[in-house]
Structure formats: structure tokens, C-alpha cells
Amino acid sequence: MGSLTVPACVSTVLLDIEGTTTPITFVKEILFPYIQDNVKEYLQDHWQEEECQEDVQHLRLQAEKDKELEGFVPIPVNEAEIQQIIQGVVDNVHWQMLLDRKTTALKQLQGHMWRAAYASGQVKGEVYADVAPALRKWKEAGIKLYIFSSGSIEAQKLLFGYSIEGALLELFHGHFDTTVGPKVQSESYRKIADHIGCSTESILFLTDITKEAKAAKEAGMNVAVVVRPGNAALTDEEKASYPLVNSFEQITLHPVQ
Ligand SMILES: CSCCC(=O)C(=O)COP(=O)(O)O
Ligand SMILES: [Mg+2]
């Protein structure tokens, strides 16, 4: 693992969050338990709001697709008693989170729930120490910065807007979540390049997950796998297949003319 110099045509960096900019422990030990502990109360407090009803409807549609999965938890129909529906949603959310599912429906609800946690100061978004300095340096060099995470766009904005390093949101040109497509499919990376208005070859994608790196590489992006403490171990084959970095300091980008 060492320094990584990327091709001069790279003018955009696309970043994953969990395991790349942010410790997995922050997501698993702070963010996710907040949801598990508060989902019932949140649903009871916000049940009459349109946004909450939309979230429940999306979870219901996802549940329709999940029927065949082991341990599946159904959500009662709209006509059922409210407390019964709420309990069904709570159980479904807990089941999805147990499997660390990345469904858009689950991620939308989580993003809405974290609003209060960040706004009250109960939670601050963790980023590795090398992240903010590198992002500032790259932005000053004319590099455009985007996020692609399974976390909803709102959740991404909260994490960087209320980070331990202060407000970092202004560093980013834009955000993508799974509404563009799953992170393990090449088509999602082609769509992202289309949205940004550049070729996939001019993008460097940084992630901790090799399945995501593979999909981005197949779409034509430059990729590097970020190795952070607590990330899933890589096989020898994976280590040999992608450039590896353990700090953004190791990445050198050419200034954009
Ligand atoms: C950005 S919100 C918390 C992260 C999250 O919910 C998640 O699923 C992280 O996935 P990533 O694609 O950033 O590894
Ligand atoms: Mg990740």
C-alpha cells in the first residue's frame, strides 16, 4: 500500500462513506442503534405527517418484494389498527437492519430519523482525520467532489453538515444514493457520470467494498480500495486487483486546468 497517482484526465472524485470517509464503527455503533432504539417512538410522534406516511408506504412496497426472504416480517395493510401497523413497521425495520440491508425504503426512513439526532448535537458525523484536509486540497485544485453512498442523500448531508470537523457539506458538488441504482451494478456508475456530465474515465471512485470497485471499474471509472481499521479483510486476489490506500494523503490528483 502506498502512493497513488491517478491519470491526468481525472477531474472528479466520487466517494463512498462507510469504511471510506467514515469508520464503520460510527455507522454500526452510533447511527444504527439510534434507529433501532427510537423507531417506535419516531413513528408514533410523526405518524400523521405526509413524509412519515410516504416512508411507510415505501417500506410496504419493499416488503411486497421481500416476501420470499427468510425471516421476512410483513407490514399490516393500511386498514389495520394503527398500533398494529406501527409494530409491523418497527419489526420490519429491525429485521432489515439485522441483515444490514441497503434498501432505498429503509435508508430514506433512517435519513429522516437522524435529522433530530444531528440537529440536537446528540450525534456528530465522524470522518477520518485525513479526509477533510484532502478534500479541501482537491477542491482547491479544481477537482469536483461527489458522494455515492447507500445512505440516503439527506443522511449524507447530515453526516457532513454536522461533522466532528465542522460543516463540510460545501466541499461537495453533489450526492448520489441508491435511487440512481445499486452500488454493485455498473449501470449506476454510468448514470452517475451522465448526471455529472463527464466521462466515467474522468472519475476516481473510492470505496472499501471490492464489489463496488468492480462495478465502477467495469463502467470505466478509475478506482481505489480504501483500507481502514475495522473494514472487511480483503483476499489476496482482491488486494492484487485494485490499487489500495489507507489514507487520502496517499492520493495525488493533477490540478484541473
Ligand atoms: C450516510 S448515512 C450512514 C451510512 C449508511 O446508512 C450506509 O448504508 C453506508 O453505506 P455506504 O454505501 O456509505 O458504505
Ligand atoms: Mg462503504
% of the chain with per-residue pLDDT over 90: 96
User: 4-22+125-252, what's its fold?
Assistant: Rossmann fold (3.40.50)
Q: Could you report the per-residue pLDDT of 101-122, keeping only the tens digit for each? A: 999 999 999 999 999 999 999 9
Compute the distance from residue 257 Cα to the ligand 2 centre, in Å: 31
Point out the ligand nearest to the CA of residue 156.
Answer: 1
The strand pair at 244-245 and 222-226 is best described as parallel
Among all bound ligands, the one having the nearest atom to the CA of 20 is 2
| CB-CB contact of 74 with 63 (8 Å) | yes
pLDDT digits (tens, 9 = 90+) for 79-104: 889 999 999 999 999 999 999 999 99
CATH 1.10.720.60 fits 27-119, yes or no: yes
Q: Is 151 in the pocket of ligand 1 (CB under 6 A)?
A: yes
Nearest C-alpha to atom 3 of ligand 1 is from which residue? 151
Percent of residues, the chain, with pLDDT higher than 70: 100
The pTM (predicted TM-score) of the whole model is 0.94
Domain boundaries, the chain: 4-22+125-252, 27-119
Strands 4-5 and 251-252: parallel
- pLDDT, tens digit (0-9, with 9 covering 90-100), for 15-73: 999 999 999 999 999 999 999 999 999 999 999 999 999 999 999 999 999 999 999 99
Burial of 252 per CB tally in 10 Å (0-12, 13-18, 19+): exposed
Compute CA distances 67 → 61, 72, 198, whole Å: 11, 6, 39
> Contact 156/171 with Cβ under 8 angstroms?
no
pLDDT score of 2 more than 80? no
| Averaged pLDDT score across all residues of the chain | 97
Residue 171 C-beta-side C-alpha neighbours within 13 Å: 26
Q: 3-class SS at 205?
A: strand
Under 8 Å between Cβ of 78 and 121: no
ipTM: 0.96
pLDDT of residue 45: 97
Phi first, then psi, for residue 173 (nearest 5°) are -80, -25
Residues paired with 22 in a beta bridge: 18
